[in-house]
Amino acid sequence: MDAKFIAFSLCSFCFLPLFLHVAYGDLSYSFPEEMKRGSVIGNLAKDLGLDTGALSNRRARIDTDGSDKRYCDINLNNGELIVADRIDREELCEEKASCILKHELVLENPLELHRISLHIQDVNDNSPQLKDDKINIEIQESAVRGARFVIEEAHDADVGQNSVQQYSLKKNDNFILAANGNTIELVLDKELDREKQQEINLLLTALDGGSPQRSGTVVIHVTVLDANDNAPVFSQAVYKASLPENSPVDTVVVTVSATDADEGINGDVTYDFGHVIENVKKIFSIDRKSGEIKVIGTVDYETTTSYEIRVKAKDGLGLSSYAKAIISITDVNDNAPVVNLKSLTNPIPEDTTAGTEVGIINVQDRDSERNRQVCCSIQQGAPFKLVPSIKNYYSLVTTGQLDRELVSDYNITITATDEGSPPLSSSKTVQLSVADINDNPPVFEEQSYSAYVSENNKPGSTLCSVTARDPDWRQNGTVIYSLLPGEVNGAPVSSYVSVNGDTGVIHAVRSFDYEQFRSFKVQVMARDNGSPPLSSNVTVSVFVSDVNDNSPQILYPAPEGNSFMTELVPKAAHGGSLVSKVIAVDADSGQNAWLSYEIVKST
């Protein structure tokens, strides 16, 4: 700084390029702070009109009033007032608008005292300063446009124009600056969105009015605090899943997921079902935290083939959103076919012709598609078959002639098998009886019967018995015996023998005489009680055997007249000559008729 800038005045802020003599010899200099040591402030000798030589003679010196700190000195050779120490206005006067240092020039012989006022002018040697390098502020994202946030003002050690004059905020999306006197405020110009930008750095510059201008900057670090301004958002509007029926409990069907852009409790998503029917709650559960939809009950395709579940995601403070879970149940072959007997003719007569429909069967399977395709079969060996009819109906039809006497009951097992994998089957046994038809005549055990009886038998004695069998049922198989009409020796056969109708035992009605007849034949009929009845005939031959019931009879000599026989015998007859011949007969036969003769008495 050059001396020509030095002013000398009574009034501190009136810089004049002249200096003036003052009545009491007071001197005033105005100069900028921070001049180098030795810089010239002014010329005391000139200003006081002193001879330079007198300065040293009069022992001129600069003194301070009450302080031993001297900021200037006098060059005794030329009378210049020079800077002796660093003069920092800010240190000496801080914020005072005028900064005046008081010194005194002392001259001796005679003693002279001149007050020197040094007006220290401010130099813009300090930049505006903000308290910290960084200002942290937190702002709710819900803050509305126009909201104001006070920022601590900047400080500049300089004064006047050199102190802080204005502020500027680096252009940004959200804030503008409002400075009003000492109050600086950030004004929210566009609302914040934490989910877009969580932290914002603003650059605030404070400018002073000096020349050259100095500035100070600070970063304002804005942390945007969350507000629950976001509802949870599902990753899909519709979640589709397919689930086999009968899936075990705890099977995870599908996991729904929603995110919430908010943070903390605002972004804490929990899941629940929306409005669903009670049944759904018995079958599925949703995990509040994970969103897993799990099976908790019985999943039955036959009951419900698909579920549509409203799912809700809620954040901590109650914003919700909804999605849909569509769960399609897939069929599993878990139902065996069911065989129903719709009608049955039972019993069926044994004369039913082959091909007659005797029953109608219906087969049902609750599963679907292949799992409900059913094939129906019947066990081998019985004279029946299944004939497929409309839809899942079958006719049970006879395939051959029935014979009750051979098989009277059939247990017909019908098996239905579906085409699932593995297949399921079930069977039903139909009991079928064959009703009797009188198709068998009684049959005698023997081709013919013979009875042997001794003559003179007692009337009523048993001769023999006949037996006929009839395999038919009840009256159709009940055998009744009877004699067929006929004659023996011109008399009705019934006068000789009788037959017990129930037992077939044949009795003699009279006593037989071998000598009258030795044998005879009768016809016995066995008849069943059917309608019409069937019968068969058999011949019973009765043989009468001899009993010695006749005495021999002497035919010659004739027994009539007297009992003496006269035979003439010649005198000359030799011994051994034939005299006579006795002839006798016996009506019996065999041994009973063998005769022997002997002379009972002779003279």
Ligand X SMILES: *[C@@H]1O[C@H](CO)[C@@H](O)[C@H](O)[C@H]1NC(C)=O
The residues that touch ligand X, with contacts defined as CB under 6 A, are: 409, 411, 431, 436-438, 473-476, 484, 525, 530, 535-537
Radius of gyration, alpha carbons of the chain: 78
The least CB distance from residue 441 to ligand X, in Å, is: 7
Residues in the chain: 603
The least CB distance from residue 465 to ligand X, in Å, is: 19
The least CB distance from residue 457 to ligand X, in Å, is: 27
SS3 (DSSP) at 45: helix
Tokens of 296: 């908790």
Tokens of 209: 């009015």
Cis peptide before 347 (omega within 30 of 0): yes
428 within 8 A of 339, measured Cβ to Cβ:
yes
Nearer to ligand X, 209 or 441 (CB): 441
> CA-CA distance, 564 to 600, in Å (whole number)?
13
Nearer to ligand X, 214 or 527 (CB): 527
Nearer to ligand X, 1 or 484 (CB): 484
The least CB distance from residue 480 to ligand X, in Å, is: 14
The least CB distance from residue 488 to ligand X, in Å, is: 16
List Cα–Cα distances, 514 to 303, 315, 342, 496, in angstroms. 96, 130, 73, 13
- The values of phi and psi at residue 382, to 5°, are -105, 145
- The values of phi and psi at residue 338, to 5°, are -120, 130
> CA-CA distance, 375 to 425, in Å (whole number)?
9
Tokens of 156: 């500049």
Nearer to ligand X, 223 or 433 (CB): 433
Count of C-beta atoms within a 10 Å radius of residue 148: 12
Decide the pairing of beta strands 148-151 and 183-188. antiparallel
Nearer to ligand X, 135 or 538 (CB): 538
The least CB distance from residue 411 to ligand X, in Å, is: 4
The least CB distance from residue 352 to ligand X, in Å, is: 13
Alpha helices, DSSP H only, in 86-129?
89-93
Nearer to ligand X, 232 or 530 (CB): 530
Decide the pairing of beta strands 583-585 and 357-364. unpaired
- The values of phi and psi at residue 581, to 5°, are -125, 125
The least CB distance from residue 493 to ligand X, in Å, is: 12
Nearer to ligand X, 201 or 431 (CB): 431
Nearer to ligand X, 54 or 484 (CB): 484
